[in-house]
Each structure stands twice: as structure tokens, then as C-alpha cells.
Homo-oligomer: A and B are copies of this chain.
């Protein structure tokens, strides 16, 4: 191979390590990487007009492709713009490789306008941070970044690339490097779990990769045999569900409902889930949601072999021959009439979710009833926001659609959430991604109205309410979508929503529905 610069070795090493998709918003310091895209075949580059779109897309891509994409970001501020969705990716256990351009080493000390502490910015949202020293190191550094990103369950890796290491000759292609395997079964914990799972006061709480088809099937057998309940965490990076699959509910988000739902369980076995805690602390309410004195048995963590663990548990409790309990059956739901309410919207979704669709759910308050009502829908995959930073939904839908070009993507999002990353619409249009978006236009940060009460604020005044309101002026989502090349329509009630979703699903490319609710 002829000599190459560091940037070319970077692209070649990423591809050698299995990273073939790049979500990018580049600047001057990343121009050699961009130029290398023409020299090196095999890297699909997707332009985003805001970095939070790129990082969120990488999160969605990992969840569906089960391997990392890379992002290409411009210096510290570009990385900063992507941090919130990296936070969500980190909490979801998604592997992401960030490539962040940096000034040439000689330039950093001059404190140019765009100089900032990139490693310091990266660290709070990254599991792995490294800055390349020379062009000869870049290839191996890239392979190590991929290795870190693929470490189970998936990690955020940030490689800082000084521009002189990109433009200097002497690049060396490296990788792939060996990725650590998933952790194996803890037999002592297995014994505790076997003893604990016994009747309706015991709960098997699932998270992460315990929500795949096979893992859920094993969990359903365990429930059938032991009489334990099954639940998942409130937010799950990816869950397989719908007709024919073991249906698993979620620990509710509202603090009082969560406390009530968990009060009945004296023993909780965790497989890929963490012990249930509140999203926020509230005055006078507990932060740990399980009943006082409940026994918590951490059987397997997010990085362990969860399907294997559940199979072993199924065998150990003598469930291997059982039919799993709680398998969702296809339901015929009548077309709901009248206004779009959480209930009628849920019914429409139960009717319209297409076979093997990917549902990206950032519906916040509107969607709290969607999950139960779609248990009997066609088989589908459901993605939640695990980090709580809103603005994740549209970007994640991009990544999911690019990872799975043959599947329909349904993105359900509140209007407040969608406004953090509306630029995602443009990328959907450019890439002609098959995403149908429903914007729940309630014109407020509705969740915060409830939270005002939860934190003990009684009778909030008009100035407080005004800070939670998205009216004055109303947002025109169809116009916004069209401005970014995405077709769409408004829907005013449940039948109109159903018709609009069917239009969106049958139209190639993205389609946006603004739902009055």
C-alpha cells in the first residue's frame, strides 16, 4: 500500500474494525477526514446540521445494528453540542465512536478562538477518551476506540484527532482488536435467584439485552414455572414486543404509581436491570422505589450474557419445557372515534404499528398508556430514552432507519422534545429515510406541570406556568417539516391520526404528522 496520511489510516482502520457508518458535522479541523472519504470506499457518511443529531443517530444505529457507528465532530464546541445525546447513549449502553478534530499541537498553546479542553468536555459522557499523538498512532488509536465502544454492553469512546496527525504522512492501518466478551453466570447469585423467585411477591426485573426475543421467551418460561412477575425498567434501550412475544410491562414513571406498582414485591431479581429508583428526588418521598426491606438480587448486569443467564435460570427452576406465560396475542381493536387522547392514540397505534416496525418513543406524557395498548400489535421493536435528556427521538430514528433500511420506523415525540433537535428532519429528507413521525402537539412541557405538584409547589402562578407553555406562538410542525424537505399533514382527531399514519407508512421517505392533543 502506498503511503497515506493519518486521516486515511483512520478511515481505513475504522472500516477494518467494522465501523462503516459516520454521522458527521465537520469543520476545518476535520477536512482531511472528509477528503479521505473519497479515497477510501466503504464508509457511508451522513451529514447532520447539528451535532446532537449526529450523536443521537449513532445511538439509534447501535441499538439496531448492534455495532457502533462513528461521529465526526468539530472541536470542543461541536462535541459539546453532541453531549446531551451522548449522555443518552451512555445510559442506554450504546457503543459510539466519536472522532473529534482538534487543533494541531503547536496551535493549542496559542489559545485560538476555538480552543477548548476537548478531553474535559468528553470525559463526563465518555467511557474512553484519548488524543492521538502522531499520524503513525492514529490507525491503532481508532481500532482501540472501536474496541472500547464494543465493550459490552456498549460504551462511548471519544478519539481526539489533532489536525497535524490527520494531515501528516505515515498513517498505519490497524485493527480489528479483540473485544472483551460478555460476563458469565454468577452461580452464587443464581442460587439466590432460584430461591427468591417463588409466587406473586417475587419479581424478575429485566433490562438491556434481557429484552430480546429469546431472552423474553426464557423469562416467560421462568414466570410460568415460578409464578413470579415480570417487569422491565421504565426506559429500555430496545425491547422486542407485540403479538407472539412475551409481554413485559414497565415500572411506571410517575413516582406514586411506581411506588404502588412495586409495593407488592418482597424479592426482586435483576437481570440487566438496575434496582428501581426514581427519576428525580421529591420532597418527602423515597428515592428507592422497592418496598422497604425488599430483597434485591443482582443476578446479571448490563454487560453480562443475559439471554444465557435467563436460559440457565429457566433450566435451574425446571422451566425448560414450559410454555412461556404472558405471550401477546394479536388483538383486533376497533377504530377509535373522537378526539386524540392518550387512550385513542394508543388504540390507533395498536392498529397501525406495522410488522417488524421500529418504534422510537419520546412521547413523554402523551405516551404513558401506549405500551400496554400495543402488547397485541404486530411484532415490533420499541426504543426508549434511557438518559432522560429530551431531544433524543428524531435523531435516534435516523440511526435506526439507516441500520435497518428494510423496516418501517415510527417516531413518536412530544412537541417540546422534538424542538431540541428539529434539524433531524433535514437529514431524514436528505437520506430519504422511511420514518413516520407523530408530533404530539400539546403545546406545553406537560410533564413539568405534573412535576410542579410532585415537588410540592401548590398553586403555581402565571409566570411559572408561562415557563412551561409552548404556546404564544404555537409551533407549526407541518410547515417546519416542509421547510426541511419533509412532507406532512395535521391530524385533529383519532380517525385522522390513523389515516395520516397509514399515509406516512405507505409513502417512501419521511413523513410528519402534527397531532393536536
Partner of A116, one of B29, B120, B125, B457: B125
Does B455 contact A164, Cβ atoms closer than 8 Å?
no
List the number of copies, as a whole number. 2
**Alpha-carbon distance A257/B34, docked complex (angstroms):** 25
Q: How far is the CA of A426 from the CA of B419 in the complex (A)?
A: 10
Contact B52 A81 (CB under 8 A): yes
In the docked arrangement, what's the CA distance between A121 and B84, Å? Answer: 11
CB within 8 Å for A117 and B113 given contacts A31-B455, A281-B106, A467-B37: no
CB 8 Å contact bits of A50-75 with B (1 = contact, 0 = none): 10100000000000000000000000
A124 interface hit (Cβ, 8 Å): yes
Residues of B within 8 A of A110 (CB): 277, 287-288
We find that the number of chain A residues with CB closer than 8 angstroms to chain B is: 100
In the complex, which residues of chain B have a beta carbon less than 8 angstroms from the beta carbon of A78? 84, 389
Across the interface, which residues of B come within 8 angstroms of A125, CB to CB? 80, 116
Bound-complex Cα distance A482 to B481 (A):
12
**By the criterion CB–CB under 8 Å, are A77 and B83 in contact?**
yes
**B87, B419, B464, B485: which contacts A34 (Cβ < 8 A)?**
B464
A357 within 8 A of B: no
Q: Which 7 A-B pairs have the closest CB atoms?
A: A38-B461, A473-B485, A77-B389, A80-B83, A479-B483, A107-B281, A104-B281
Q: List 22 A-B contacts (CB under 8 A).
A: A24-B467, A26-B467, A28-B280, A28-B455, A31-B455, A32-B455, A35-B464, A37-B464, A45-B463, A47-B469, A104-B281, A106-B287, A107-B280, A111-B274, A112-B278, A113-B279, A121-B124, A163-B281, A167-B456, A475-B484, A475-B485, A476-B484
Q: Which residues of A contact B (CB under 8 A)?
A: 24, 26-29, 31-32, 34-35, 37-39, 45, 47, 49-50, 52, 76-78, 80-81, 83-84, 87-88, 91, 103-104, 106-107, 110-114, 116-117, 120-121, 123-125, 163-164, 167, 235, 274, 277-281, 283, 287-288, 386-389, 391, 416, 419-420, 422-423, 426, 429-430, 447-448, 451-452, 454-457, 460-464, 466-470, 472-480, 482-485
